[in-house]
């Protein structure tokens, strides 16, 4: 689990560097803002057989951050 979490955080940091370049900000600006940020890694599997098309099953999220990523849905 730690390896997967670290891989996801590494991906986020890479994307933050790409955004920094695209936004013409000083190098490291967004990545440095992410240091000690409240990153949340949680298993969020959903049983899609319980829901119909267009049902909302994720609901309100409390982890408002600059960037959100999800692993592959299974």
For 41-55, the pLDDT digits (tens) are 766 667 778 888 888
Question: d(Cα 27, Cα 31) in Å, to the nearest integer?
Answer: 9
**Residue 37: predicted pLDDT:** 79
Closest by Cα among 73, 74, 11 to 39: 11
Query: What is the distance in angstroms between the CA of the first residue and the CA of the last residue of the chain?
Result: 17
Q: Is the pLDDT of residue 35 over 80?
A: yes
Angle 50-51-53 (CA atoms, 0-180°, nearest 5)? Answer: 150
pLDDT tens-place string over residues 17-32? 999 999 999 999 999 9
């Amino acid at each position: 689990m730690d390896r997967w979490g670290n891989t996801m955080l590494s991906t986020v940091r890479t994307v933050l560097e790409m955004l920094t370049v695209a936004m013409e900000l000083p190098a490291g600006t967004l990545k440095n803002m992410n240091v000690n940020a409240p990153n949340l890694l949680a298993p969020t599997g959903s049983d899609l057989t319980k829901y119909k098309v267009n049902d909302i099953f994720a609901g309100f999220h409390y982890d408002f951050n600059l960037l959100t990523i999800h692993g592959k849905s299974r």
